Structure 1
Amino acid sequence: MSVTNGTFFKPSVFTLIGIPGLESKQHWIGIPFFISFFLAIVGNGLLITIIRSERALHEPMYIFLAVLAATDLGLTLCITPKMLAIFWLQSKEIHFDSCLTQMYFTHTFQCMESGILLAMAFDRYVAICEPLRHSAILTKKVLLSIIMVVTIRACVIIIMCPLLIKLRLKHFRTTVISHSYCEHMAVVKLAAENVRANKAYGLFVAFSVLGFDVIFIFLSYAFIFRAVFKLPQKEARFKAFNTCTAHIFVFLQFYILTFFTSFIHRDFPGMLGSMCL
């Protein structure tokens, strides 16, 4: 790495500072993060094991739930170990290529989660609006195809984010990332050159993945609520709503946290680009 005209040329190492403004308290902040990390590993691992071992749970809703747990597990393992190393061991440096690798897997798992949430919404739509055809529509072959499409979509569409940074951006104003992990816009904003293509691709991913999924999830639940309100019995309506409650909470938690993260980056392209990236 060399310094030219006050900029860093092809830096080999970035520095993650953790939580800006709270550096002196991060060793305490690491405790609840570790507890959450431990619970996430145990909880998701146990959920996957139970669904896999119990044949009665080999239904579309539980299979999608197991895949969601696996993606959540992957996302947790991508981010939290390095975060705890920053908080407790002051291990703030991360190699440039390692940073891009963490970025790729983090955003890939995020996009996979969004796709699985859409698949779960589709499952609830079929279960409530077409109950007699549910098993005929969501066969094992269809489930496998949906999971493969969600996975391939995330892997292919995200790969350009680190590649564009690797191939286009050579000069950086600083190598200090005001974050606890390598996130797309957090790295792009450090560049001391034209990042319009990087931001444009971030917008493309946000609209083509997150925007697409949110729109169709809302449409699915619009049809679901319309079908539920047409049910004559109160008990039947309550039972139908009850089958969707868990998914609605997961859906709200995921997208509210995603939108909250996007507002950390104040510029408009950054906000939209970091919705999924």
Structure 2
Amino acid sequence: MLDVPGARLYYEVRGSGPVLLVILGGGADAAMAAPMAEILAGRHTVITYDRRGAVRSPLAGPPTEQRIEEHADDALRLLEAAGAGPADVFATHSGALIGLDLLARRPSSVRRLVAHEPPAFDLLPDAAHWRRMTREAVEVCEREGVGPAMRKLGEETGVTAPPEPDPGLPQWVRDMLGRMTVNMETSCRYELRPFSAYVPDAEALRAAPVVPAYGAETKGRLMHRATLAVAGLLGREAVELPGDYVGYLRSPAEFAEALRAQLAA
């Protein structure tokens, strides 16, 4: 555990070598990245963690609207606690927005950032639609609960909610899904609106070591469009990684190999 202003962060460290920090999306759990982290630990010191407000990373007080800058400061403190110099960062979905903010404001802390499917909806031509969609999803969450809200989000974005913890699944997966059910509600109510309105600092990032990336199976869909918008803002080409929006979990070996190539490029 790491004490930070306003929260206690749960984190895990695997392997040895150059530090690789993994920042996951809203509602996620560090266990989602564990299969990939075990593979990468052969060449990296891999740090995975639950973001503030998650079940295992409790807030010091009642939940309030989340700020990307605060989450980026958490990531920086994890790197400082590890005693790392500039670290590689793999960040996905809303975690990718955190990674972009960390790199923009603390460039000396990041050697290379792979920003996987950053949901920078305000960069899209139909940004007004997505602002309305996120507002309505939060209202549904507050009125009807996280299940209906996540179904609405899934219909709109193609990013579906995690399944129920089926008894046939391994115990670690059932435990992870149980925590994520709680995490998703916190993320929907307090993170979705402010994060989806975030616009990366183009001036700070155009010359920075950042790789916008998308999943091969999300090509042509919303998260692919958002990734291309970020790449265009920064004057970069987006790269394709294996799988869909959680390719790192569904195909960890293939994803780890592709990620290593991007970090070494």
Provide the TM-score with structure 2 as the length reference.
0.24
Compare relative contact order (CA 8 Å, sep 6+) and give the higher one, 1 or 2: 1
Judging by fraction of residues, say which structure has more helix: 1
Judging by fraction of residues, say which structure has more strand: 2
Larger Rg: 1
Provide the TM-score with structure 1 as the length reference.
0.24
